[in-house]
Chains A and B, each alone.
Chain A
Amino acid sequence: MIKKISVRQKKIIEYVIIFLLIPTIIALGTLVFEDRKYAFITLAVTILACIPLLLTFEKRTDSTRKLIIIAVMTALSVAGRFLFALVPGFKPVTAIVVLTAIFFGGEAGFLTGALSAVLSNFMFGQGPWTPFQMLAWGMIGLVAGFLARPLRKSKILLSLYGIVAGAAFSMIMDIWTVVWYDDSFQPALYIAALLSSLPYTIMYAASNVVFLLAMIGPIGKKMERIQTKYGI
């Protein structure tokens, strides 16, 4: 019973944020920053969208193990960026996020994604793009969590998800680039941005597929091994 109430409270907080806080901030932003209202709104909404998801973690009764697994997976995805630094676009971040989501749930996936963005930017440079990366990688994990069962069963679906996730990441980041640049959403500029990053996107999507296919088997075994060895 107690748990149900707290879940409900959490929901209420989320609704308050989604239906009250976001519109208020958008309205205020449009008033003060007349010229740049869209840039401001996209940034504000992105940050606010991350908050409820990050806060739920605080209230959760998660085990120490899950805590550590998120830390390990995040560190792996960041350290992996260095391992494959020579090949542009070849990054294990998305694959790690998806795998975390598949084996430990969407929330763990979201957190791994969002934290990977923050932590890797400690090394590669923070900026206004950080919240967008957080949201993009986080959502990739969250959605993978919902699709955990089919993704675990079918390698075709998994590969497909890798491609879609790679494309989605580029598309989300390019929206930000375009809106931030001249505070409007010009389709021509957006398409140009997408095209210019196409080789990178293709590489990225391909690397997702490679990583996912290479790691889904071994990682499953490893999880099993850890669980039997330590009886958790």
Chain B
Amino acid sequence: MDLLQVRDVTFRYPTSGEAVLNGMSFRIKKGEFVVLCGETGCGKTTLLRLIKNELAPHGERKGRIYFSGKDIEESEDNEITQNIGFVMQRPETQIVTDTVWHELAFGLENMGLSTSLIRRRVGEMASYFGIGDWFDKKTSELSGGQKQLLNLAAVMVMQPELLILDEPTAQLDPIAAADFIATLQKLNREFGLTILLSEHRLEDVFPVADRIMVMGEGRLLCYDTPGNVGTFMNQNDKLRLSMPCAMRVFHAFDFTEKSPVTVKEGRTFIEDHFDRKIINLRREDRKSLPMQTKGSEEANKESVRKLRSKSYGTPALSFHEVSFRHQRDEDDVLRYTSFSVFENEIYCILGGNASGKSTTLRVAAGVLHPYSGKVNLFGKRLSSYKAGSLYKNNLAMLPQDVQTVFIKNTVREELGKDYKQPQGLDFDFTKLMDKHPYDLSGGEQQLCALAKVLQQEPRVLLLDEPTKGIDSYYKAKMINIIRHLKQEGMTILIVTHDLEFAAHCADRCALFFNGEITSEDAPWEFFEGNNFYTTAANRMTRNLYEKIITVEDAIEICRLNQRDDS
């Protein structure tokens, strides 16, 4: 039975001439899990909002949308409001009230239910979502993942039949995102909840989806099972990059069978179709730094020094037993943290949420001050720099929340009148110049903020989660820009939980845990050494090949091992 039917919907915003949606038609059956994907700006959000009538944007609209056979525009009652749940991207801004229990009750209050009924439903939902422990907390005390889970629970108490989610995991770290997707899967499997989810990080959602809807320029390009959409997505340069790792490897070759989707299927696929003649991409000529282990420190020192002086040069930024805490009576966030970033190096710090990565970066930027230890920039104490000279030609930071960079009304004002684009920044801002910075898409905001920060002409650039909330197209762009900046001689320190991104651009990766760097190494050594905290490509090729960390690596090693008969 069709729960949702979209019939020939066309939509135009009042200010722009072009149609954002152009004759969209599709059906969703009851109990299906549908993932909507497509590059940024293809009209995904507009489509989802049109289905949720209360959030429909203003503009000219043609075509009809039916929910359970009823036209959503014509039915005035509250029934459809309750039956379609909607969760948005940003965890913070969707929360309405100050306490968790009130947030859960909010939708039910709007339905006019009695206190005893609300208590029952809220209690049930809190137990199911494991919210019981923080039921009495203030909403501001929750982590990003908890906030998004609360947003989901606050919608689920209204017992919707269709749940629409607009990039719900874009602002979450990978662990929280995977948890969130797992919860959705559980709701779908156990309760037959129909889900329509838009997403650009597809690795986690493809395995749980029944069907994938691919959109482009306001049209429905493809609507099929995850295994089958690959052929289509592979033809499009931008979409190809967002496919799960197993599918990308599969589509790099010409096989006629069904495409693998999960890491497990990908492994079987490689085992079945490729030899293991060559198991290594021979990167040993590129020197890596031995891991810093505490016990053997003395023994290693000499070799470390040699290596450093040879292939790494002088340190540009270094931490010497730095300790930091926010309040005197709180626990340390950084505990005797020591590491060095060498000149012209890209150094990636990886680690879970709230591990202190971001704090490390802000200490390095000189906006937070450690209570003990030394931070040196080009051999000079960071604190001895004057603000004027430190942030001009020396150090610059791109923060995690790039909206904090913008303080003017247009991009033109932000970048300055006679803005000269730096060479490496391969992006055209001319179209965006008169827009308000907040009106740009996530990826555009990121690049615009980077452009502004680069005007400080830093020698050391600090990046805090530069891939947060942006799609794979902008991610690839970001990787290119970072590589280019390195070529021009810049030293770059990146804090990220995006393992694929780190695998692509880092010279060295470090794991930050419990207030200190616990391991650091070249990316292929680093990820090969980790068993769980590693990239999908590495997981897929583990024990088959060695030191494969990116999808490109995986494709290359498979190519080298192709069988003659295939």
Question: Do A and B form a real pair?
Answer: yes
Count how many pairs of residues, one from A and one from B, have CB atoms less than 8 Å apart in the complex: 7
Question: Do residues A225 and B436 form an inter-chain contact, with CB atoms below 8 A?
Answer: yes
Whether B436 and A231, one on each chain, are in contact in the complex, defined by CB atoms closer than 8 angstroms, is no
Query: Does the CB pair A231–B439 fall under 8 Å?
Result: no
- Interface residue from B14, B58, B409, B439 paired with A221 (Cβ < 8 Å): B409
Complex contacts, A231 vs chain B, CB 8 Å: 14, 57-58
Contact pattern, A 191-232, Cβ under 8 Å of B = 1, otherwise 0 = 000000000000000000000000000000100010001110
Give the chain B neighbours of A225 by CB distance below 8 A: 436
Q: In the complex, what distance in Å separates the CA atom of A110 from the CA atom of B439? A: 32
- The interface residues of chain A lying within 8 Å CB-to-CB of B409 are 221
Asked whether, in the complex, the Cβ of A229 is within 8 Å of the Cβ of B439, the reply is: yes
Q: What is the bound-complex CA distance between A16 and B510, given in angstroms?
A: 72
Interface 1/0 per residue, B129-169 and A, CB below 8 Å: 00000000000000000000000000000000000000000
How far apart are A181's CB and chain B's nearest CB, in angstroms?
36
Q: Which residues of A contact B57 (CB under 8 A)?
A: 231
Chain B, range 42-84, C-beta contacts under 8 Å to A: 57-58
Q: Cβ of B439: which chain A residues have Cβ within 8 Å of it?
A: 229
The distance from the CB of B410 to the nearest CB of chain A, in whole angstroms, is: 11
For chain A, residues 29 to 50, give those with C-beta under 8 angstroms from any C-beta of chain B. Answer: none
- CB proximity to B under 8 Å, residues A97-133: none
Residue of A with least CB distance to B13? A231
Q: How far is B125's CA from A23's CA once the two chains are assembled, in angstroms?
A: 51
Q: Which range contains the number of A residues in contact with the other chain? A: under 10
Whole-angstrom distance between the Cβ of A62 and the nearest chain B Cβ:
16
Q: Which residue of B lies closest to A68 (CB)?
A: B96
Cα distance, A225 to B439, chains bound together (Å): 11
* Chain A at the B interface: SS class: helix
Q: Which residues of B contact A229 (CB under 8 A)?
A: 439
Residues of chain B in range 405-450 having any CB-CB distance to chain A below 8 Å:
409, 436, 439
Nearest CB in chain A: distance from B192 CB, A: 33
Give chain B residues whose Cβ lies under 8 Å from the Cβ of A221: 409
| Binary interface encoding of chain B residues 547-562 relative to chain A, with 1 for a CB under 8 A from any of its CBs, else 0 | 0000000000000000
Q: How far is the CB of B491 from chain A (nearest CB, A)?
A: 34
Q: How far is the CA of A231 from the CA of B58 in the complex (A)?
A: 7
Binary per-residue interface labels of chain A (160-199) against chain B in the complex, 1 for a CB within 8 Å, 0 otherwise: 0000000000000000000000000000000000000000
Q: Find chain A residues with CB under 8 A from B14 CB.
A: 231
**Closest Cβ of chain A: how far from B103's Cβ, in Å?**
15
Most chain B CB within 10 A, of A221, A230, A231, is at: A231
B407, chain A: closest CB distance, angstroms: 11
Closest to A232 in B: B58
Q: Considering the chains assembled together, what is the distance between the CA atoms of A229 and B439 in angstroms?
A: 9
Give Cα distance in the complex from A189 to B14, angstroms. Answer: 64
- When C-beta atoms are compared, the residue in chain B nearest to A229 turns out to be B439
Complex formed: what's the CA distance from A231 to B15 in Å? 11
Q: How far is the CA of A45 from the CA of B436 in the complex (A)?
A: 48
Q: In the bound complex, how far is the Cα of B14 from the Cα of A225, in angstroms?
A: 15
User: Closest residue of chain B to A228, judged by CB?
Assistant: B15
Q: Name the CB-closest residue of B to A225.
A: B436
Q: Shortest distance in angstroms between A140's beta carbon and chain B's nearest beta carbon?
A: 26
Give the distance to chain B from A116, nearest Cβ to Cβ, in Å: 16
Query: Given the complex of chains A and B, what is the CA–CA distance between A215 and B57 in angstroms?
Result: 30
- Alpha-carbon separation in the docked complex, A60 to B22 (Å): 41
Complex CA distance for A231 and B439, rounded to whole angstroms: 15
Residue of chain B at shortest CB distance from A71:
B96
Query: In the complex, what residues of B have CB within 8 A of residue A230's CB?
Result: 58
Measured CA separation A221–B409 after assembly (Å):
9
How long is the Cα–Cα vector from A225 to B437 in the complex, in angstroms?
Answer: 12
In the complex, which residues of chain A have a beta carbon less than 8 angstroms from the beta carbon of B58?
230-231
CA distance A228 to B439 in the complex (A): 12
Nearest Cβ distance between residue A115 and chain B, in whole angstroms? 13
Complex: chain A residue closest to B436, CB-CB: A225
Report the minimum CB–CB distance from B186 to chain A (whole Å). Answer: 33
* Nearest B residue (CB) for A218: B409
The smallest C-beta distance from A226 to any residue of chain B, in angstroms, reads: 11
Q: Which B residue's beta carbon lies closest to that of A231?
A: B58
User: How long is the Cα–Cα vector from A230 to B439 in the complex, in angstroms?
Assistant: 12
Instruction: Determine the distance from Cα of A221 to Cα of B14 in the docked complex, in whole angstroms.
Output: 20
| Whole-angstrom CA separation of A231 from B436 in the bound complex | 16
Residues of B1-47 whose CB lies within 8 A of A: 14
Tell me the residues in window 426-476 of chain B with beta carbons closer than 8 Å to chain A beta carbons: 436, 439
Tell me which residues from 42 to 95 in chain A have a Cβ below 8 Å from any Cβ of chain B: none
Min CB distance B245 to A, Å, is 39
Residue of A nearest to B439 (CB): A229
In the assembly, what is the distance between CA of A232 and CA of B409, in Å? 20
In the complex, which residue of chain A has the Cβ closest to the Cβ of B57?
Answer: A231
Q: Tell me, in angstroms, the Cα distance from A230 to B15 when the chains sit together.
A: 11
A82 to B439, CA, bound (A): 29
The residues of A that contact B436 with a CB separation of less than 8 Å are 225
Least Cβ–Cβ distance between B277 and chain A, in angstroms: 59
Bound-complex Cα distance A229 to B436 (A): 11
Nearest CB on A from B203, distance (A): 34
Q: How many angstroms between the C-alpha atoms of A225 and B57 in the bound complex?
A: 16
Chain B residue at smallest Cβ distance from A222 = B409
How far apart sit A210 and B350, CA to CA, in the bound complex (Å)?
45
Q: Which residue of the partner chain B has the closest CB to A221?
A: B409
Give complex CA distance A225, B408 in Å. 13
Give the residue name and chain of the B residue nearest to A230 (CB).
Answer: B58
- How many Å lie between the Cα of A59 and that of B409 in the bound state? 37
Q: How far is the CA of A230 from the CA of B58 in the complex (A)?
A: 8
**Cα(A229)–Cα(B438), bound, Å:** 11
Cα–Cα distance between A231 and B57 once the two chains are bound (Å): 9
List A136-152 residues whose CB lies under 8 Å from chain B.
none
List CB contacts (< 8 Å) of B305-359 with chain A. none
Bound complex: CA of A209 vs CA of B409, how far in Å? 23
- Alpha-carbon gap, A230 to B14, bound state (A): 11
Cα(A221)–Cα(B413), bound, Å: 15
Task: Point out residues on A near B: beta carbons under 8 Å.
Answer: 221, 225, 229-231
User: What are 7 A-B contacts with C-beta separation under 8 Å?
Assistant: A221-B409, A225-B436, A229-B439, A230-B58, A231-B14, A231-B57, A231-B58
Give 7 closest A-B pairs by Cβ, nearest first: A231-B58, A225-B436, A221-B409, A231-B14, A229-B439, A230-B58, A231-B57
